[in-house]
Amino acid sequence: MGRQALVVHSDPEILGGTPVFVGTRVPLRNLIDYLERGHSLDEFLDAFPSVTREQAVAALETAHEVLTASARTAR
């Protein structure tokens, strides 16, 4: 979870505290929305050039780590 702190942050002065990619005003939710709608990571990065590929990949890796850590075995 340490990587997330370097990639995404929340500041009440930026979009009312919405989690955004560090150094940008691009909400993390935009990445999720793009992927949910079937767009590629490259399309997201083209639409939001202030977000680096490294930031986007790190955010997805962090999401994977959090979800995997909280997963429970099936019964």
DSSP string, 37-54: TT--HHHHHHH-TTS-HH
pTM assigned to the model: 0.83
Position 25 in a domain: yes
Q: Which two tokens stand for residue 74?
A: 């099936």
Q: Which two tokens stand for residue 67?
A: 């979800």
Please report, for the domain that includes residue 10, its CATH number: 1.10.10.10
Q: Is the pLDDT of residue 31 over 80?
A: yes
Per the CB < 8 A criterion, the answer to whether 21 and 50 are in contact is yes
Helices 28-36 and 53-70, interaxial angle, to 10°? 80
What is the pLDDT confidence band of residue 4, given thresholds at 50, 70 and 90? very low
Position 71 in a domain: no
Domain count of the fold of the chain: 1
Position 75 in a domain: no
